[in-house]
Amino acid sequence: MEWTGEAIILGARKHGETDVILEVMTAERGRHLGLVRGGRSRRRQPMLQPGNEVQVTWRARLADHLGIFSVDPIRSRAAELMTSSVGLHGVQHLAGLIRLLPERDPHARLYEAFRIVLDHLDRFDVAGPLIIRFELELLNQLGYGLDLTSCAATGTRDDLAWVSPKSARAVSREAGEPYRDKLLPLPPFLVEGQRQPGSEITYRDLIEGFRLTDFFLNRNVYEPRGIKAGDLRPGLIAALEKQYRAEYPWNFD
């Protein structure tokens, strides 16, 4: 058995004295593991860091074996990502989300979204909204997608302001007003055509977006599996808040 393809590194763990088990995300073969001989060497370690883009060739005698990876670099992002708190927390958080996917299950859309987010982690004001959209796409790929296209109560596509926790569907401001205490806020940047061109995404919008995805990730993914989200997400949000406070202090007035 053998295949070759482009991949983004999620992480590596030690295996024996000199080898590592490498975990990557690919477009056609999903999240995949393989053994890298000599992966702990000084020459190979910098290449096998989370966020780096590589070409891998996987070989095994049988399809269900761990197999062996040979790895060649395509694009190195790790060194740049580690220079910022948003980059460092961001790549780890994204890798943790991808680990929620079944191994070897292809998710081409999510792979491309992963690549796009990694390319923008140096821009905190762009990275935050992209990560929230990534989380929404992950929920969709896992079968728990939100419908943010029209109001669940009236069918209107205008002035969508809430999300129903029960139906995971959007609700218009007028229809949801009497039940606002039971609904989740829907930030405008997540609704097609609702955000005004040129308007900035505020820190409040960002936090409401993270609270929205956090609710559905916990209810539909983490809790049924008996696992906890961990501290990667809070660390990322704290890093984003620090950047927003430094660059856009009026967001907190």
- Least Cα distance to 8 among 88, 67, 58, 73 occurs for 73
Cα–Cα distance list, 3 to 24, 34, 71 (Å): 14, 12, 12
Q: What is the structure's pLDDT at 195?
A: 58
- Are 30 and 104 spatial neighbours (Cβ–Cβ below 8 Å)? yes
Report mean pLDDT in 10-residue bins for the chain, 253 residues. Answer: 97 95 97 97 94 98 95 95 95 97 96 97 95 98 97 95 97 96 96 68 95 98 92 94 92 70
Given this model, what pLDDT does residue 59 score?
A: 97
Look at residue 163 in the predicted model and tell me its pLDDT.
Answer: 98
Residue-level pLDDT at 242: 95
CA angle 172, 173, 174 (to 5 degrees): 95
At 30 the three-state DSSP class reads strand
Q: Which two tokens stand for residue 9?
A: 């590194």
Nearest to 120 by CA among 86, 79, 75: 86
DSSP state of 191: S
Position 198 scores a pLDDT of 54
Phi, then psi, of 36 in degrees rounded to 5 = -115, 115
**Tokens, residue 162:** 């809430």
Please state, in angstroms and rounded to a whole number, the distance separating the CA atoms of residues 207 and 201.
10
What's 134-159 look like in SS3?
A: HHHHHHHHCCCCCECCCCCCCCCCCC
Query: Is 0.85 topped by the overall pTM?
Result: yes
DSSP E strand stretches across 106-226:
160-163, 170-172, 184-185
| Token pair of 74 as six digits | 């395509």
